């Protein structure tokens, strides 16, 4: 079974409509497609967020659009699921989760795109002026936020672990222990993780997370699924064969999770 739950549309930073994305998934013979546009309520001012994020005042319209696509495109062999990729901020995570409970989501993805106020994956230019000490600090803060996001229990799965490697600005310290602590938090909270194939198309040329992190997740029993993190229709199942093989190499025997009204099953 193949699912693709981490995808974006014009409602945030994608280039196509929800319908166009779902049709691409259907044509790719995926069993389930989920839309999960960016939702960010940052506890600080950053005008750039509005350029790549869903307007928090238009969630009703977003859900209405997704439900309409679901009604028109679903069949017995193709399901459309509705979610959001929600940025985690310790300052307001509980409040945001409570606010989103009124919507008929099937899942929420927990994500960290900011280390403090620093935009982790916006551009390499953001990283270039930084001293190594600052780079290390950004990584440490990132992993702490990932651990807290997993422990919160607000999310169905956690997005793109080790995202800060995107532009190859790596820490001098071994971040494996930080990652493993986050995974233990995910296990305790019964939260899944993804292997995000988009990394293969980025400067790091590697999926998120690295192989050793994925292997540890399998070792301690954290469920995993493949995600394309697609922002255009052609990418809804990009690098899926490679990702499924990577999961098997890590020890996983199942390469998909299914979410329905926040209930997770492993087919």
Domain boundaries in the chain? 3-265
Query: Across residues 79-105, what is the average pLDDT?
Result: 98
Percentage with pLDDT > 90 across the chain: 98
Report phi then psi at 57, rounded to 5: -90, 0
pLDDT beyond 90 at 254: no
Query: Across residues 32-42, what is the average pLDDT?
Result: 98
The pLDDT assigned to 238 comes to 97
The pTM is what?
0.97
State the sign of the Cα–Cα–Cα–Cα dihedral 123, 164, 206, 25: negative
Alpha carbons within 13 angstroms on the beta-carbon side of residue 130 total: 22
Mean of the per-residue pLDDT values for the chain?
97
Cα distance between residue 117 and residue 113, in whole Å: 9
* Contact (Cβ atoms closer than 8 angstroms) between residue 202 and residue 168: no
Helix 93-100 to helix 132-152 angle, to the nearest 10 degrees? Answer: 40
Q: Give the three-state DSSP class for 191.
A: coil
* Contact (Cβ atoms closer than 8 angstroms) between residue 107 and residue 141: no
Query: Across residues 97-120, what is the average pLDDT?
Result: 97
pLDDT beyond 90 at 255: no
Query: Across residues 196-224, what is the average pLDDT?
Result: 98
Tell the CATH superfamily of the 3-265 domain. Metal-dependent hydrolases (3.20.20.140)
pLDDT beyond 90 at 59: yes
């Amino acid at each position: 079974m193949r699912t693709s739950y981490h995808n974006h549309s014009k409602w945030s930073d994608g280039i196509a409509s929800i319908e166009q994305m779902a049709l691409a998934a259907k044509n790719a013979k995926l069993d389930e497609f989920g839309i999960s546009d960016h939702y960010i309520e940052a506890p600080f001012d950053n005008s750039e967020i509005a350029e790549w994020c869903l307007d928090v005042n238009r969630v009703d319209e977003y859900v209405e659009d997704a439900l309409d696509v679901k009604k028109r495109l679903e069949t017995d062999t193709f399901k459309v699921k509705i979610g959001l990729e929600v940025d985690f901020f310790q300052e307001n995570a509980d409040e945001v989760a409570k606010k989103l409970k009124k919507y008929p989501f099937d899942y929420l993805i927990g994500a960290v795109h900011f280390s403090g106020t620093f935009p982790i994956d916006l551009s390499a230019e953001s990283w270039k002026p930084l001293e190594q000490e600052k780079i290390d600090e950004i990584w440490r803060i990132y992993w702490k936020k990932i651990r807290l996001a997993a422990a919160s229990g607000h999310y169905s799965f956690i997005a793109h672990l080790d995202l800060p490697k995107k532009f190859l600005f790596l820490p001098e310290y071994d971040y494996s222990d930080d990652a493993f602590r986050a995974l233990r938090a995910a296990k305790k909270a019964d939260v899944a993780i993804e292997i995000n194939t988009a990394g293969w198309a980025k400067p790091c040329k590697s999926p998120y997370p690295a192989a050793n992190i994925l292997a540890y997740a399998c070792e301690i029993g954290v469920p995993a699924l493949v995600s394309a993190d697609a922002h255009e229709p052609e990418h809804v199942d990009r690098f899926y064969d490679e990702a499924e093989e990577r999961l098997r190499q890590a020890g996983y025997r199942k390469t998909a999770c299914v979410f329905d009204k926040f209930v997770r099953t492993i087919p």
